[in-house]
Amino acid sequence: LAPSILVINILEAVVREFEVVNMQGFTEGMFYMGGPWNYLNAIAGIFNLIVVCGWFGIVISKDKHHDLVWPDMTWFWIIGYGLWNFAYVYNCLTDRSFYSMALIISATIPAFLMKKGAWAQHRVHTLALYMMLMMTIPDFFVMGKYAVASTHSPVTYYTISIIALVFNTGVLGYQIYTIIKRNKNPLTDELYDHLSESKGIKAENALIIKEKNAAIA
Protein backbone atom coordinates (compact mmCIF):
# COMPACT_ATOMS: atom_id res chain seq x y z
CA LEU A 1 0.00 0.00 0.00
CA ALA A 2 2.73 2.49 0.96
CA PRO A 3 4.61 2.22 -2.37
CA SER A 4 1.42 2.61 -4.40
CA ILE A 5 0.43 5.76 -2.48
CA LEU A 6 3.90 7.21 -3.07
CA VAL A 7 3.79 6.40 -6.78
CA ILE A 8 0.32 7.93 -7.18
CA ASN A 9 1.46 11.05 -5.33
CA ILE A 10 4.44 11.51 -7.65
CA LEU A 11 2.30 10.84 -10.71
CA GLU A 12 -0.24 13.48 -9.65
CA ALA A 13 2.55 16.03 -9.27
CA VAL A 14 3.93 15.18 -12.72
CA VAL A 15 0.49 15.74 -14.26
CA ARG A 16 0.25 19.06 -12.44
CA GLU A 17 3.57 20.18 -13.93
CA PHE A 18 2.14 19.70 -17.42
CA GLU A 19 -0.99 21.62 -16.43
CA VAL A 20 1.00 24.61 -15.15
CA VAL A 21 3.17 24.95 -18.28
CA ASN A 22 0.83 27.45 -19.95
CA MET A 23 -0.46 29.18 -16.82
CA GLN A 24 0.52 32.81 -16.27
CA GLY A 25 -0.48 35.24 -13.53
CA PHE A 26 -2.89 34.76 -10.64
CA THR A 27 -5.27 31.81 -10.67
CA GLU A 28 -7.40 30.90 -7.66
CA GLY A 29 -5.30 33.15 -5.44
CA MET A 30 -1.98 31.60 -6.50
CA PHE A 31 0.60 33.16 -8.81
CA TYR A 32 1.85 30.91 -11.61
CA MET A 33 4.58 31.38 -14.16
CA GLY A 34 4.67 28.30 -16.34
CA GLY A 35 7.46 27.57 -18.76
CA PRO A 36 9.89 24.95 -20.12
CA TRP A 37 11.10 24.26 -16.59
CA ASN A 38 7.82 22.49 -15.94
CA TYR A 39 8.65 19.98 -18.67
CA LEU A 40 12.15 19.47 -17.25
CA ASN A 41 10.88 18.75 -13.76
CA ALA A 42 8.02 16.60 -15.04
CA ILE A 43 10.64 14.37 -16.68
CA ALA A 44 12.63 14.35 -13.41
CA GLY A 45 9.46 13.22 -11.63
CA ILE A 46 8.89 10.44 -14.14
CA PHE A 47 12.46 9.23 -13.62
CA ASN A 48 12.03 9.36 -9.83
CA LEU A 49 8.80 7.42 -10.20
CA ILE A 50 10.43 4.74 -12.35
CA VAL A 51 13.23 4.08 -9.86
CA VAL A 52 10.94 3.34 -6.91
CA CYS A 53 11.95 -0.25 -6.14
CA GLY A 54 12.24 -2.91 -3.46
CA TRP A 55 8.50 -3.05 -2.79
CA PHE A 56 8.64 -6.63 -1.55
CA GLY A 57 11.49 -5.88 0.82
CA ILE A 58 9.40 -3.56 3.00
CA VAL A 59 9.07 -4.79 6.59
CA ILE A 60 7.65 -3.59 9.89
CA SER A 61 10.26 -3.26 12.62
CA LYS A 62 9.84 -5.57 15.60
CA ASP A 63 10.53 -2.95 18.25
CA LYS A 64 7.83 -1.08 20.18
CA HIS A 65 7.56 1.60 17.48
CA HIS A 66 6.65 -0.81 14.64
CA ASP A 67 8.20 1.44 12.00
CA LEU A 68 7.75 0.83 8.29
CA VAL A 69 11.25 0.01 7.04
CA TRP A 70 12.13 0.12 3.33
CA PRO A 71 15.76 -1.02 2.84
CA ASP A 72 15.84 -0.26 -0.90
CA MET A 73 14.92 3.37 -0.36
CA THR A 74 18.53 4.53 -0.56
CA TRP A 75 20.06 7.91 0.19
CA PHE A 76 20.37 8.79 -3.49
CA TRP A 77 16.68 8.11 -4.13
CA ILE A 78 15.73 10.23 -1.11
CA ILE A 79 17.92 13.11 -2.31
CA GLY A 80 16.54 12.73 -5.85
CA TYR A 81 13.00 12.85 -4.52
CA GLY A 82 13.77 15.88 -2.39
CA LEU A 83 15.27 17.82 -5.31
CA TRP A 84 12.39 16.91 -7.61
CA ASN A 85 9.74 17.65 -4.98
CA PHE A 86 11.22 21.04 -4.13
CA ALA A 87 11.34 21.91 -7.83
CA TYR A 88 7.70 20.86 -8.08
CA VAL A 89 6.51 23.06 -5.22
CA TYR A 90 8.63 25.95 -6.53
CA ASN A 91 7.13 25.56 -10.00
CA CYS A 92 3.55 24.79 -9.01
CA LEU A 93 2.99 26.08 -5.47
CA THR A 94 5.29 29.09 -5.83
CA ASP A 95 4.90 31.20 -2.69
CA ARG A 96 4.53 28.14 -0.47
CA SER A 97 7.84 26.67 -1.58
CA PHE A 98 9.84 27.94 1.42
CA TYR A 99 7.70 26.05 3.90
CA SER A 100 7.50 23.07 1.56
CA MET A 101 11.30 22.92 1.57
CA ALA A 102 11.23 22.83 5.38
CA LEU A 103 8.70 20.01 5.14
CA ILE A 104 10.96 17.99 2.82
CA ILE A 105 13.97 18.51 5.09
CA SER A 106 11.98 17.52 8.19
CA ALA A 107 11.41 14.06 6.70
CA THR A 108 14.94 13.73 5.30
CA ILE A 109 16.91 14.47 8.48
CA PRO A 110 15.46 11.60 10.57
CA ALA A 111 15.88 9.26 7.59
CA PHE A 112 19.63 9.91 7.71
CA LEU A 113 20.26 10.48 11.41
CA MET A 114 17.56 8.63 13.35
CA LYS A 115 15.59 5.74 11.89
CA LYS A 116 17.28 4.79 8.63
CA GLY A 117 15.08 3.07 6.09
CA ALA A 118 11.93 4.71 7.45
CA TRP A 119 11.85 7.78 5.18
CA ALA A 120 8.42 6.90 3.74
CA GLN A 121 6.95 6.85 7.23
CA HIS A 122 8.63 10.16 8.15
CA ARG A 123 7.26 11.69 4.95
CA VAL A 124 3.71 10.60 5.71
CA HIS A 125 3.86 11.98 9.25
CA THR A 126 5.27 15.38 8.28
CA LEU A 127 3.00 15.74 5.25
CA ALA A 128 -0.08 14.91 7.32
CA LEU A 129 0.89 17.57 9.88
CA TYR A 130 1.42 20.10 7.09
CA MET A 131 -1.95 19.34 5.50
CA MET A 132 -3.76 19.68 8.84
CA LEU A 133 -2.18 23.10 9.28
CA MET A 134 -3.10 24.05 5.72
CA MET A 135 -6.72 23.04 6.25
CA THR A 136 -6.90 24.88 9.57
CA ILE A 137 -5.09 28.09 8.55
CA PRO A 138 -5.16 28.10 4.71
CA ASP A 139 -3.63 31.57 4.27
CA PHE A 140 -0.82 31.16 6.80
CA PHE A 141 1.85 30.45 4.17
CA VAL A 142 0.86 33.05 1.58
CA MET A 143 -0.38 36.06 3.57
CA GLY A 144 0.75 38.09 6.56
CA LYS A 145 4.12 38.48 8.22
CA TYR A 146 4.96 34.76 7.98
CA ALA A 147 4.58 34.60 4.19
CA VAL A 148 7.79 34.07 2.19
CA ALA A 149 7.27 35.05 -1.44
CA SER A 150 9.01 33.27 -4.31
CA THR A 151 11.40 35.23 -6.53
CA HIS A 152 9.42 34.17 -9.63
CA SER A 153 12.71 34.26 -11.51
CA PRO A 154 13.01 32.21 -14.74
CA VAL A 155 16.68 31.61 -13.92
CA THR A 156 15.73 30.08 -10.57
CA TYR A 157 12.96 27.99 -12.13
CA TYR A 158 15.41 26.64 -14.70
CA THR A 159 18.23 26.05 -12.20
CA ILE A 160 16.16 24.10 -9.70
CA SER A 161 14.45 22.00 -12.37
CA ILE A 162 17.70 21.21 -14.20
CA ILE A 163 19.39 20.12 -10.96
CA ALA A 164 16.45 17.83 -10.19
CA LEU A 165 16.51 16.37 -13.70
CA VAL A 166 20.27 15.79 -13.78
CA PHE A 167 20.34 14.10 -10.37
CA ASN A 168 17.36 11.85 -11.08
CA THR A 169 18.83 10.95 -14.47
CA GLY A 170 21.90 9.77 -12.58
CA VAL A 171 19.77 7.70 -10.19
CA LEU A 172 17.94 6.11 -13.12
CA GLY A 173 21.22 5.38 -14.88
CA TYR A 174 22.66 3.73 -11.78
CA GLN A 175 19.54 1.63 -11.34
CA ILE A 176 19.68 0.41 -14.94
CA TYR A 177 23.36 -0.42 -14.44
CA THR A 178 22.54 -2.33 -11.22
CA ILE A 179 19.71 -4.27 -12.86
CA ILE A 180 21.91 -5.36 -15.75
CA LYS A 181 25.05 -6.11 -13.73
CA ARG A 182 23.30 -8.00 -10.93
CA ASN A 183 20.60 -9.56 -13.13
CA LYS A 184 17.81 -8.21 -10.95
CA ASN A 185 14.08 -7.91 -11.55
CA PRO A 186 13.10 -4.33 -10.57
CA LEU A 187 9.50 -5.37 -9.92
CA THR A 188 10.16 -8.18 -7.46
CA ASP A 189 13.77 -7.96 -6.26
CA GLU A 190 15.59 -5.70 -3.85
CA LEU A 191 18.09 -4.00 -6.14
CA TYR A 192 20.44 -2.51 -3.57
CA ASP A 193 20.77 -5.28 -0.99
CA HIS A 194 24.49 -5.38 -1.80
CA LEU A 195 25.05 -1.82 -0.56
CA SER A 196 26.29 -1.15 2.97
CA GLU A 197 23.32 1.14 3.58
CA SER A 198 20.80 -1.62 2.92
CA LYS A 199 22.84 -4.15 4.88
CA GLY A 200 23.03 -1.75 7.82
CA ILE A 201 19.27 -1.23 7.85
CA LYS A 202 18.65 -4.97 7.79
CA ALA A 203 21.29 -5.63 10.44
CA GLU A 204 19.77 -3.02 12.74
CA ASN A 205 16.33 -4.56 12.50
CA ALA A 206 17.70 -8.11 12.79
CA LEU A 207 19.42 -6.99 15.99
CA ILE A 208 16.15 -5.61 17.30
CA ILE A 209 14.45 -8.95 16.62
CA LYS A 210 17.27 -10.85 18.31
CA GLU A 211 17.21 -8.66 21.41
CA LYS A 212 13.43 -8.91 21.71
CA ASN A 213 13.52 -12.71 21.46
CA ALA A 214 16.27 -12.84 24.07
CA ALA A 215 14.20 -10.67 26.42
CA ILE A 216 11.18 -12.94 25.99
CA ALA A 217 13.31 -16.03 26.65
Is the Cβ–Cβ distance between 99 and 90 less than 8 Å? Answer: no
> What per-residue confidence (pLDDT) applies to 25?
82
**What span, in angstroms and rounded, lies between the C-alpha atoms of 18 and 31?**
16
Is the Cβ–Cβ distance between 127 and 139 less than 8 Å? Answer: no
- pLDDT tens track for 80-122: 999 999 999 999 887 777 778 888 888 888 888 887 888 888 8
**Most distant CA atoms of the chain, gap in Å:** 67
> What per-residue confidence (pLDDT) applies to 4?
84
Number of domains in the chain: 1
Give the pLDDT band (50/70/90) at residue 20. Answer: very high
- pLDDT tens track for 168-180: 999 999 999 999 9
Q: What is the pTM of this model?
A: 0.86
Pairing mode of beta strands 30-33, 68-69:
unpaired
At residue 7's C-alpha, the angle toward residues 206 and 116, to 5°, is: 25
> What per-residue confidence (pLDDT) applies to 44?
98
Q: Which domain holds residue 99?
A: 2-216
